[in-house]
Amino acid sequence: MVACTPDIYRCFECCIKCLGGIPYASLIATILLYAGVALFCGCGHEALSGTVNILQTYFEMARTAGDTLDVFTMIDIFKYVIYGIAAAFFVYGILLMVEGFFTTGAIKDLYGDFKITTCGRCVSAWFIMLTYLFMLAWLGVTAFTSLPVYMYFNLWTICRNTTLVEGANLCLDLRQFGIVTIGEEKKICTVSENFLRMCESTELNMTFHLFIVALAGAGAAVIAMVHYLMVLSANWAYVKDACRMQKYEDIKSKEEQELHDIHSTRSKERLNAYT
């Protein structure tokens, strides 16, 4: 059997120390956040593009000239919002991971190179508040994403009922969803050719399922935010306890130093008195 050299032992201890400093809870939350944001942004963007094609092809809607705020302008705004969400939460996930690394290092190496400061505690408290606000925002995004899922589910149900019940005349009016104004009549009925082509196309089914996946991604982001809140709260509690322990050790060392000084002074006084 080949004996292990001291260098191998030192390398092994270094690897164990590095693995012990990884914030696994923050890592899991970051992976879940990135997965949820990627699903929401990617599938949501493609679903919005599919919605534009469906409205233009089967509902015969056209973009309004000028600066009028119509449904197509709103869809373009939502796409830009998706771009912003993807960039913002990519950066925010990195910041939370960095905070997790520093917090874990500060706890594990309390008496080493890392020192817990008031600034570090303020940063942890700030991240807790910001994550809580983002969790509420993602809850709103999840609720908002459920609206197109509900609309496409109704449309998909109408298509399914026409294939099951012959001679059924069902209509879908976009005014009931607030997509067009009351004065515009944009509806499609089962007896029309556009409706039959839409139900037979794969575009409707694909857009519907893309919105469902986007809704699932928003839900995953909410779970990631809740996970982050638990991790940050636990780190905050650990840091707070570590600060108290650090203060206790400082006070204890000062008292021991004072006792040592008193003992040394008395010893010198006795020695002087004896001499």
From first to last of the 275 residues of the chain, give the pLDDT tens digit. 444 556 676 776 777 666 666 778 888 999 999 999 999 999 999 999 999 998 888 877 777 776 667 788 889 999 999 999 999 999 999 998 888 777 766 555 544 444 555 566 777 788 899 999 999 999 999 999 999 999 889 888 888 777 655 666 777 777 777 777 766 767 777 777 888 888 888 888 899 999 999 999 999 999 999 999 998 888 777 776 666 666 666 677 777 776 766 767 666 666 666 66
Total-model pTM: 0.77
CB 234 within 8 A of CB 107: no
Report pLDDT for 110: 47
Report pLDDT for 272: 66
Beta-carbon count within 10 A of 148 CB: 21
- Rounded to whole angstroms, the Cα distance separating 233 from 100 reads 11
Report pLDDT for 245: 65
- Rounded to whole angstroms, the Cα distance separating 48 from 205 reads 13
Report pLDDT for 199: 83
Report pLDDT for 112: 44
* Alpha helical stretches, state H, the chain: 6-20, 24-57, 71-108, 118-164, 193-200, 202-274
> 202-274 vs 24-57: helix axis angle to the nearest 10?
160
> 193-200 vs 24-57: helix axis angle to the nearest 10?
150
Contacts 24+ apart (CB under 8 A), 75-84: 75/48, 75/51, 78/44, 78/48, 79/45, 79/48, 82/40, 82/41, 82/44, 82/45, 82/48, 83/41
Instruction: Compute CA 258 distance to the chain's CA centroid, rounded to the nearest angstrom.
Output: 52
Report pLDDT for 49: 93
Say whether 172 sits in a helix, a strand or coil: strand
Say whether 201 sits in a helix, a strand or coil: coil
CA angle 222, 224, 227 (to 5 degrees): 115
